Amino acid sequence: CLSLLMLLPLLTGCSPSPTAVTVGDREVDASEYAFYLHFNRISTEEESGTLLYDEEDTRLAREAAIEQIITNEVVRIKCEEFELELSKAQKTALAEAKDNLVEALGGTAAYLEYLNQSYLTDRAYDKFQENAYYSQLLYDYMTRDSQSFYTDESLRKYFGSHYATVKYIYFNFTDEDGNLLDREAREGILDTASAVAESAQQDGADFDALMVEYNEDLSMTGGFPISKLEAASTEHLTTLFDLEENQVSDPIVMADGCYILKRSPVSASYYDENQRDIFLAACNDRFEESMAQWKSEYAVKVAKVVDKINLSNLSEYVKKQQKAVHLLRQSVCRIYCQSEEGVK
C-alpha cells in the first residue's frame, strides 16, 4: 500500500494531455503548449496594448511559442548529453522560491488559482522555473574556454564585424499632429529621399551635410555606435550590417517615414572603453551560434492538436490536464484507503 503512495508523484508527473510538440525524443504536451501560447500573448499585449484574438496575431504567438519550446527542449537535450545537472543548492533555491510564492499568495488554494490564471499546471510551473537554470548551466559549459578562445586579435576582429557607427537621414510621413500624410504627399517625400540617397552614394559625398539639410529626427546628430544584435532588433536598422563600411543605403520605407542609412566604423577608443561588454557580447554570439546549429539537428514535429488550441480556449487544455491529475490522485488514494481497511 505504501508503494502506491510512493508511486503517486511518478503517476502525476505523467501527462494525460496529448502531445503537442516533439523535439528529438522529448515530448511537450498540449497543456504546456497552451501556457507558452498564453505567455506570448501577454508579451505582445504589454507591447501593443491590444488583445490577441485575430488570426494573424494568433499565428505570430503560435510561432513564438513553438520556437521557445524548441529552444528549451534542445537546452535540456544538450544538458543531458553533457551530463549537466542542477546542483543541490539550485534545487533548494527553486523549492524555496516556490514556497515563498505560495506563502506570498496566501496559501495553496491561492497558488492553485494563480496557476489557473496563468494557464499553468504545477508540473509546467516547475519546468518553466528550471529552464533558466538549465540554460545558464549550458551557457557556462559552452563558454568556459572563452578567455583563451578570444585573444585580443580575434576579439578586435569580432568587434570590427559586429559593431558600427550608424548615421541616418529620416524623412517624416506624418503631419505636426502625428497623422499620416496622404499618398501623394508621401510619394513626393519618397522621391526627394531617393534623390538624396543617390546624391549621398556618390564618391566624395558629404553625408553629414545632407543630414543637416534633410534629417527630421532631432535625436540623430553625429551618429552613434551600435552592435549587430541591437541593429537586428531595431526595425529601421535591420539591414545596417548588410552595408559595407561607409556605404549608404537606398531609402528604407517604414510606416511613418523613411530612412537613409550610412554604416561607418567605430572608433578604436570605443573598443578600449567597452572591451568587457564586447567580450560578453562575443560569448553570447558564440553560444547562440551553437544553439542555432543544435536546433537544426533535431527533428521537430507539431501535432494536429496545436491547430485546435487558440487564444480563446487555452483553459480547456490546461483544465483537462489538471482534472486528469486530480482524478488520478483520487484513484490512488481510494485504492490506498481500501487496502488499509483490508489490513484492519
What average pLDDT does range 110-121 have in this prediction?
91
Do 64 and 33 contact (CB within 8 A), yes or no?
no
Mean per-residue pLDDT, 96-122: 93
The pLDDT of residue 48: 54
Distance CA 203, CA 199 (A): 9
Q: What is the dihedral of CA 205, 211, 214, 216, to 10 degrees?
A: 160
Q: Which of 14-18, 158-162, 186-190, 213-217 has the lowest mean pLDDT?
A: 14-18
Is 331's pLDDT higher than 50? no
Separation of alpha carbons 83 and 78, rounded Å: 8
pTM of the model: 0.73
Q: What are phi and psi of 262, to 5 degrees?
A: -130, 125
Helix (H) or strand (E) holding 286: helix 275-297
Residues in contact with 286: Cβ distance below 8 Å, sequence separation at least 6, in sequence order: 142, 143, 146, 149
Amino acid identity for residue 287 in this structure: F
Reading the block at residue 160, the C-alpha cell is 570590427
Confidence of residue 330 (pLDDT cuts 50, 70, 90): very low
User: Does pLDDT of 49 surpass 80?
Assistant: no
Hey, what amino acid is at 300?
Answer: V
With a CB cutoff of 8 Å and minimum separation 6, the contacts of 230 are 237
What is the per-residue pLDDT across 51-108, written as a single tens digit (0 to 9) for each?
545 677 788 889 999 999 999 999 999 999 999 999 999 999 999 999 999 999 999 9
Which tens digits make up the pLDDT trace of 170-182?
Answer: 999 999 898 999 9
Q: What is the mean pLDDT of the chain?
A: 87
Residue 18's pLDDT is what?
A: 92
DSSP letter string, 325-338: HHHHHHHHHHHHHH
